[in-house]
């Protein structure tokens, strides 16, 4: 748990240095993603620069950039700075993949998210699977 807290603290430092332009990821993206509307998580694709700055393994997962208070994600203990590696049984490496996999989810639907931190030095807590019910 301490390593996860350290990872989140490091993420917050790096995220504050990121230019605002990184927050606009896709011109055709709706204002509220399915991940945010159903589970209270704002997601961000992991750039190589951000991945390296955080010490995360490259080419894996989607960053959780914000968690809405009292959302299903918040209630499950998911925090900003963690990474989603799988949705259901599918590995994910982009926000688009996550959105496509959540396309069939409706209010009350339970979805498994494999979240955590995988570091390049292989240290850290690894990942765990959390089941969230869509609101």
SS3 assignment for the chain: CHHHHHHHHHHHHHHHHCCHHHHCCCCCCCCCCHHHHHHCEEEEECCHHHHHHHCECCCCCEEEEEECCCCHHHHCCCCCCCEEEEECCEECCCHHHHHHHHCCCCCCCEEEEEEEECECCCCCCEEEEEEEECC
Residues 53-109: tens digit of each pLDDT: 888 888 889 999 999 999 999 999 999 999 999 999 999 999 999 999 999 999 999
Banded pLDDT at 16 (limits 50, 70, 90): low
Is the per-residue pLDDT at 34 higher than 80? yes
Banded pLDDT at 29 (limits 50, 70, 90): very low
Banded pLDDT at 31 (limits 50, 70, 90): low
Which pTM value belongs to this model? 0.75
What's the CATH code, domain 2-16+33-133? 2.30.42.10
């Amino acid at each position: 748990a301490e390593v996860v807290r350290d990872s989140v603290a490091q993420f917050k430092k790096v995220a504050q240095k990121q230019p605002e332009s990184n927050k606009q990821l896709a011109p055709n993206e709706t204002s509220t993603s399915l991940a945010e509307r159903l589970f209270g998580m704002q997601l961000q694709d992991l750039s190589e620069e951000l991945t390296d700055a955080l010490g995360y393994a490259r080419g894996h997962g989607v960053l959780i950039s914000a968690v809405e208070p009292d959302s299903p994600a918040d209630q499950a203990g998911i925090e900003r700075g963690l990474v989603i590696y799988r949705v259901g049984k599918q590995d994910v490496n982009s926000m688009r993949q996550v959105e496509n996999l959540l396309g069939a989810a409706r209010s009350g639907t339970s979805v498994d998210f494999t979240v955590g931190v995988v570091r390049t030095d292989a240290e850290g807590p690894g990942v765990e699977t959390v089941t969230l019910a869509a609101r």
